Amino acid sequence: MNERVFFAGMAGQMGALDAYRSADLEARVCRYLPELMAGLQAVYPEAPAVAARVAEVIGRSLAERPQDLQALDLKRIHTPDWFQEPQMHGYIAYTDRFAGTLKGVGQHIGYLKELGIRYLHLMPLLLPREGENDGGYAVADYRQVRPDLGTMDDLEALCAQLRREGISLCLDLVLNHVAREHPWALAARQGDPKYRGYFYIYPDRTLPDAFERTLPEVFPDFAPGNFTWDDEVQGWVWTTFNSWQWDVNWSNPEVFLEYLELILWLANKGVEVFRLDAIAFTWKRLGTNCQNQPEVHALTQALRAAVRIGAPAVAFKAEAIVAPENLIAYLGTGTHYGKVSDLAYHNTLMVQIWSSLASRDTRLFTQALQRFPQKPPSTAWATYLRCHDDIGWAISDIDAAAVGLSGPAHRHFLSEFYRGDFPGSFARGMHFQANPTTGDRRTSGSTASLAGLETALESGHPRQISLALERILLAHAVFIGYGEGIPLIYMGDELGLLNDYGYVHEPAHKDDNRWLHRPKMDWAKAEKRHQQGTVEHRIFHGIKELLEARARIPQMHAAFPTQALWQPNPHLLLLKREHPQGRLVQVYNFSEQDQPFPFEALRQEGIVQPFDLITQTPAPAYLEPYARLWLTQHPV
């Protein structure tokens, strides 16, 4: 399909266009149609016919796109690095647990701005199924909001309010599955052949058993297997995550068109970033683990290209918690380089921060980062310390062996340490799930409790409390200062909220200990951020200081890569960022002990008069416990 035909298909849905808008849209079609067609052709034999329908979907959406969002589109076209800028700081929260309702979130925008937030990810808020719903990821209707949170009008109003304050809203869009109660699944259960084709439904166990030979189990404890018999459809339905979450069939182009229309519809409500949930699972291939298949990236490229034409202000974030060698493909490799998701989670960085805090040794951290693939310069990582999910101890056996460790043994150590079972551990957490094949166990727990604050407060020992606070701030400094993306603060971490053991008293939560680290926001504690000497004041202002420093440092722009440096002290982590305005070297002490300042390592990088950009003072003569420094050469 050529640009003229595609544009005509769009324009046919839009009515009369003025000359300027016509030229703008034609330019977008010219830029992104080749990427759209390449993605579609890699997946669908009938790609030209699908593209014609894509044009119609985009045209209908553009005809309804509000003027202020069209203005934002134009601004983003001219500032495509908007999400890479040093002042882009994120915050993750559940709407109800943060502020009760969407209107309540609007009442706390001042709090977010005080911290320096420019990006707000509200956890699943679209209508889920009743009862068990995987924390909201079993969506029953993408076009409705959970009634207790508000309405779609409330969501649109909140997006507008945030936009006026310079904050972009990120929303979850589950790509791999819908709830059994979703209209598509309801129609399939009623026998509609069109909607049966939206899912993987098998009359007997022949194909499911063949697939199961190579499929892992996501939740082996409470959702074993990947297929569920359904009496209404008289077949085995593919259900990767839970029996009531039906995997959708992306090999059917109707599914692609449905999701494109949903994305553009929500974008017209003001959503600026879509977290593409469970993206790694969206293509199935017999004889594989049905994750990270090449078609996933072709589909994402096609979706992104279509959305770049219809809503250029929008960015995609891939929720792909996979091995580094697979993760980089979600930002683009080969023919997809820089053409798929704009953002992806840097899971390795998160895991290695916790690993080094437990071991007080950074050699594995340095090794893992040195072997980590470099991203396309037009993309960014979402860097983080904690989120709503458990921690999977994704320690590479190759990296572990390179520094003299056993991968399985180190993973076992970490799961024991962060449960609090390892001798001398400062942590309080819980095991979440276990892999019966490998023996690996994941971990639940809040940042503060895993970092030792809960244990320290119980002891009442001032030094232990101080060390726990410094540990929390060190960990935040590493992912905030990493510099290749948007740092995401998880709700309550800025105040040191501890594990919430009350989750066991809620019937919908009691069997899922991830609710241990999903506490309700404590606004009484938040007020203590203004009281010097309190835990809340120390953490909040410590993190705020880091974010303010990051915002004023040009070296933090996400287009520039970060390199881990080898140096002889195993307690120190050194990260280097090259930039036209000067080299930046970050120094972190992962131990409770004072450490010699690494003058020689800095001299090798051309920094002989180190100046700390966090405190804006010359570097100290030695490193205190959990010290964190962002150093440049001090101008003479």
| Residue numbers annotated as active site | 277, 319
Give CA 166 to chain center in angstroms: 20
Say how many Å lie between the first and final Cα of the chain, rounded.
60
Query: H or E segment at 333?
Result: none
Count CA within 13 A, CB hemisphere, residue 9. Answer: 21
105 vs 589: CA distance, rounded Å: 37
Q: Are 279 and 292 a contacting pair, CB within 8 Å?
A: no
How far apart are the C-alpha atoms of 312 and 423, rounded to whole Å? 53
CA 633 to chain centre: 34
Q: Which tokens belong to 399?
A: 């990296």
Longest CA–CA separation in the chain, Å: 78
**Contact assessment for residue 558 and residue 317, using Cβ atoms and an 8 Å cutoff:** no
Containing 630, the helix (H) or strand (E) segment is strand 628-633
Backbone torsions φ then ψ of 332, nearest 5 degrees: 110, 120
Token pair, residue 628, equals 């964190």
> Rounded to whole angstroms, how far apart are CA atoms 451 and 428?
8
Single out the residue of 416, 424, 422 nearest to residue 440, CA to CA: 416
Q: Could you tell me the CA-to-CA distances from 371 to 294, 344, 564 in Å, in that order?
A: 22, 18, 10
62 touches 10 (CB < 8 A): yes
* Cα separation, 91 vs 87, whole angstroms: 13
> Which amino acid, residue 504?
V
Distances (CA, A) of 126 to 135, 253, 266, 344, 517: 11, 24, 11, 22, 21
Question: What residues does 122 pair with on adjacent strands?
Answer: 93, 171
Q: CA angle, 503 as apex, 392 and 388 as ends, to 5°?
A: 35
In contact, 390 and 435? CB cutoff 8 Å: no
Beta bridge partners of 229: 236
Return the number of other C-beta atoms located less than 10 Å from residue 64's C-beta.
Answer: 11
Tokens of 311: 């809503």
The residues that bridge with 109 in the sheet, in sequence order, are none
* Tokens 């990493």 sit on residue: 482
Decide: 449 and 498 in contact? Cβ < 8 Å. yes
Asked whether the beta carbons of 332 and 380 are under 8 A apart, the reply is no
CA–CA separation, 414 vs 351, rounded Å? 10
* Cβ-contact 316, 277 below 8 angstroms: no
